[in-house]
Chain A
């Protein structure tokens, strides 16, 4: 294995984490809003389902995803019926797996941030002629910014460190589904501790710097001027 392989594993990891975070922020926001605001039966059930990846071994999630996405699986067959390629062992499959796996890390901070805003600022904005969309962009987003940032960082970092799910549904195809954590595992398997160290230390440093930046920015994030 060459250094270029490591670079491409890093690239796959970063792409996967960025894409997953983006998708989760977009899809997770309405879900989190609904959980924070909605009054409905069965909310506990949905919260429990969303929290499952927190406690489930990633291999279990990965295994079921593999079964579902495989060409003979229910989703795989649906994909084929629609004339699409099966998702197992593809980058797209990885994105789907990562989204499910990192879902609680994004949805929970968003939900807490939305809940913390409370009704009052929204009511005040509504009585100042701000419609729903206006309120979303001028009140909810700025007030939830610290929570959104936390959600993004947690989602990104968590996806970056993912191993079990990727191994189950992505395999280890260099340049496509081979991510950083798997590259490290391979180096260790091959007793190439030097390379494993390099990647591990790099990942450690990166994660640390990201978290440091988040905490440093945090107190100043509440206000955004006008």
Chain B
């Protein structure tokens, strides 16, 4: 368990948090810019000194009223937004710097880190000549070679262009599955949070608004309601097969099988799907002769108006929560209420 309690005053805001993070998987601290996410992460690393804070990792106290372990004595690694590579060392030098100072058994070998993050051809280059994506890959490898017990990442993708972002996202996802250590990720981007996080901490103006398992929290009406048009559901699924003739992929989840445009993912691999609430419509009877492929029986579990015209309906697809954004008029016409059995029609599915 990772327990943190901080009260840090900075120009413009007051960070006032007391949270416990799971000691496995990815915890995302998610919130708008300037809400204090980075300050929190820095405080966990010991980079922000604040009196009266508490930081406990597993059985060890890193910080309390009387003790303060400096950053170099905390078994963590930190990936900065701007990579923060050492300009006087080449890529290999940067990696070696971390590896030589590692105090625990390596979590992966130098060669494996280089291969995993595709740094083979960059080893002799200077950081100044690297692209943003390359630099961030080096920073990630450097952090892992430090053999940390906890990996902290501060918006590691925000300085990258779209294609570098995608590439690093899939690398992170690979890492997330293989790494034996917990990760705390600070982010203000929905897609990377939805894709990577297991546990979600929602922040607002220096405080925690809500926290819990991502798949539950993401579709909570009060949380999703404030996302407006961006309200969406995240579904954990597993590739169950491909329909080669139609170039479609079948993904199994608790509510059944969902079809999406063909992917390269091998059968059995895990995937996360994101479904925008506006792409989900509701019918009382199962539609026949429709172009929509993905139709599932569902139970209405909650409703919430998100504007004077629209509302958000939360549906339970046999254990998986799905949000649908419809007009209030439609909701009235269908006489939707909690407990009502309906069919959810999903128009578009995005593989995260």
Q: Do A and B come from one complex?
A: yes
Binding site for B on A (CB under 8 A): 120-121, 123-132, 134, 138-139, 142-143, 145, 222-226
Out of A128, A223, A224, which one reaches B77, CB within 8 Å? A128
Residues A130 and B101 in contact, CB atoms below 8 Å apart: yes
Residues A225 and B72 in contact, CB atoms below 8 Å apart: no
Residues A126 and B89 in contact, CB atoms below 8 Å apart: no
> Is B92 located at the chain interface by the 8 A CB criterion?
yes
Out of B46, B86, B103, B143, which one reaches A125, CB within 8 Å? B86
Residues B90 and A226 in contact, CB atoms below 8 Å apart: yes
Contacts of A121 in B (CB 8 A): 84, 86-87
Residues B101 and A139 in contact, CB atoms below 8 Å apart: no
- Top 6 nearest A-B pairs (CB, nearest first) are A226-B93, A127-B78, A124-B84, A126-B71, A129-B101, A142-B88
Residues A223 and B88 in contact, CB atoms below 8 Å apart: yes
Residues A128 and B97 in contact, CB atoms below 8 Å apart: yes
Q: Which residue of A lies closest to B103 (CB)?
A: A129
Contact with A along B217-236 (1 / 0, CB 8 A): 00000000000000000000
Q: For chain B residues 76-119, which have a beta carbon within 8 Å of chain A?
A: 76-78, 80, 82, 84-90, 92-93, 96-98, 101-103
Residues A143 and B88 in contact, CB atoms below 8 Å apart: yes
Residues A128 and B90 in contact, CB atoms below 8 Å apart: no
Inter-chain CA distance A186–B82, complex, in Å, is: 60
Out of B47, B146, B152, which one reaches A128, CB within 8 Å? B146
Interface size class of B (residues with CB under 8 A): 20 to 34
Q: Which residue of B lies closest to A221 (CB)?
A: B88
Contact with A along B63-75 (1 / 0, CB 8 A): 0000000111100
Residues A127 and B76 in contact, CB atoms below 8 Å apart: yes
User: Knowing that A125-B86, A127-B71, A129-B146 are A-B contacts, what are 5 other residue pairs whose CB atoms are under 8 Å apart, sorted by A's residue number?
Assistant: A124-B80, A127-B77, A128-B97, A143-B86, A222-B88
> Is B198 located at the chain interface by the 8 A CB criterion?
no
> Is B195 located at the chain interface by the 8 A CB criterion?
no
> Is B214 located at the chain interface by the 8 A CB criterion?
no
Inter-chain CA distance A125–B87, complex, in Å, is: 12
Minimum distance in angstroms from B351 CB to a CB of chain A? 34
Inter-chain CA distance A177–B102, complex, in Å, is: 54
User: Most chain-B CB neighbours within 10 Å: which of A121, A127, A139, A226?
Assistant: A127
Inter-chain CA distance A143–B87, complex, in Å, is: 8
